[in-house]
Structure 1
Amino acid sequence: MSEQRPTRRDLMKPVQLLGFAFAAALFGGIIALVSMGFFQDLTEDQRAHVVVVALVVAGISFIATLVMIALLMLAVDPAQVTKQIDQPVLHPKDDDSRPSAH
């Protein structure tokens, strides 16, 4: 039985990356709403101000997350995008270089 390993292209799908950025923006917006007291007794003007600030925080979080993901994707060699991943990325290629425990 052959084992199907994902390629780097499978791991870096744009829809998943946009979903991650959207989730980060949603988290930031909800945290801004809660921390500014949106769910407490506020006037309508205060609620409008809180919503505007939360939308700004969510937008900044979305854009910052997309920029960071794009910069991290630039670190990947395009020739290795189609190669299969068969070991952890940050481990050394040969196992002999690791110190042995005695």
Structure 2
Amino acid sequence: MKLNQSLIHSAYYLAGCFFLLLSLPLWATLDVWLRHEENITRFNSIGEARNLSIAFEEHVKSVIENADRLLRDLREDAITNEADFHRIVREEIEIYRKRIIQLS
């Protein structure tokens, strides 16, 4: 009876060692793969953030250019048509407001 229990314990011990020998390389491989994926994700996110900042910069630049164009048009109208200036300002502001809303 003691011999059978000893054999059973030895079999469990051998099975446990075999499981560890198989699982350790799998866990190590999984760890290396996850670290690699994390590095790839971090690298790609840096590129995406750079692209987003460039797009935002271009958007702000276009809004500022539209506002500058509006001011130049208003200045020109103020010089040539002083009597109708307020009416022209309201019309121009409405036109450019619609353009800026469309752009944004």
TM-score normalised to structure 2 length: 0.40
> Which one scores higher on RCO, CA 8 angstroms, separation ≥ 6?
1
- Structure with greater helix percent: 2
